[in-house]
Structure 1
Amino acid sequence: MTPIQLHTYATPNGHKASIMLEETGLPYEVRLVDIERGDQHRPDFLALNPANKIPVIVDPDRGRTLVESGAILFYLAERSGVLLPGTAEARDTALQWVLFQAAHVGPTLGQIWTWKIFSPEKPPAVIARFEREAERLFRVLDGQLARGAHLAGEAYGVADVMTWPWIRIAGPTLGLDLAPYPHLRRWHEAVAARPAVQRGLAVPTGARP
């Protein structure tokens, strides 16, 4: 099998793809896209993803190029047969939580990251608004995880890979408190202990975490 090309950087979105590749065992090679240096605006990268976002995967054996982390995770699950929901109902549930991350968790925590870490201006009202929304989202996730070990039920799967990298940065990077959410904390710690997750977090080398 020809290795899948993973175009990525050390961000929560990038780590979704590298963790999933480690979980599946599919062969892959890393193409570093240094977004702090502006590599995402290079013509060769824009030819892969005109939206200039990582991650991107290229599967030479199937002639496929995929962007958007949720689509990438489902493709890799189907390609490998690993972490793939076993029934139509389970797939629908997993898709629901994948889209919840894409529509709510990532954008909200991304705004907090922008305003608290990167922006020279740190307007308290703006930061407080997004922190309140983050707390709401954590309550939703905590409630779902009270019903089962993982987001889409008892089995670890694509929804967990999609969501965990953003929850990982909530405390140490963004200063958000997970203490009020025991089920979310339990899930976060369990996923963090997976060897494939730890390997995926080390990708790519040469990039800042």
Structure 2
Amino acid sequence: MKYKLLHLIFIPYLIFSQELPEKEHYTYFDEIINLQNTDLSNGVFHKEKYRTINGNHHYYKVNKFFLGKVHYNNDVFSNTLIKYDLNNDNIIIKISNSSYLIFILKKSLVKKFTIDNDIFINIADYGYSQILIDKKPIKLYKKNLINSYEKLNKKFSYTKFVNKSKYFINYNSEYFYVLKKKNLIKKIPQQKKIISEFYLLNKKLAKNNSDLFFTKLINLLNNNVNNAK
């Protein structure tokens, strides 16, 4: 697998892109960089469609591009400017330092990506999922979700986004969400005692830091399995 530096600059496009209608906008870009011959040929242009206030947004962590890496269409693009749109579960790429060359990658061609040192993989039926524990027998993932609410103030309407993540695991080649304690016990009954005790002793942690709570729990279960061998 080869690594590529995604750093393309197209001055003629930058000069005229503001003058072009949306449909022609895409066609012109396609003509300039000959997208049909590149690994990014299936991307579509991104345009922000939500009005928000007070710095609220629908992106992973912050509303800015991170320097990351994306595995796309059997290639790896390093030093890539990436944003993760949680509301639509899309990866947004920015070419060079342009304010105009911003587009959405086709999800079916994205295998994995790294953003702010966090690794995500594309899992069927789950979409882009953050890897928290990547070792057997129990692998832990986080699905970064977001809820949207339409609001109205005295002057205009806007959208408010609220983060609401879920956790799921891969055990015995099966993926399932860890919604409640009984849900996890049902899937891993042989570790019922450990699971029940952990939930009982870590109620505060579960409320204040879900990532750490589930990471510690799954590590505990994995260690118990490995020590029993």
What TM bracket, shorter-length normalisation? under 0.3
Bigger strand share: 2
Query: TM-score w.r.t. structure 1 length?
Result: 0.23
Comparing both chains, which one has the higher relative contact order based on Cα–Cα distances under 8 Å and sequence gaps of 6 or more?
1
Scaled by the length of structure 2, the TM-score of the pair is 0.22
Which structure has the highest helix share of the two? 1
- Work out which of the two has the higher radius of gyration on C-alpha atoms and give 1 or 2: 2
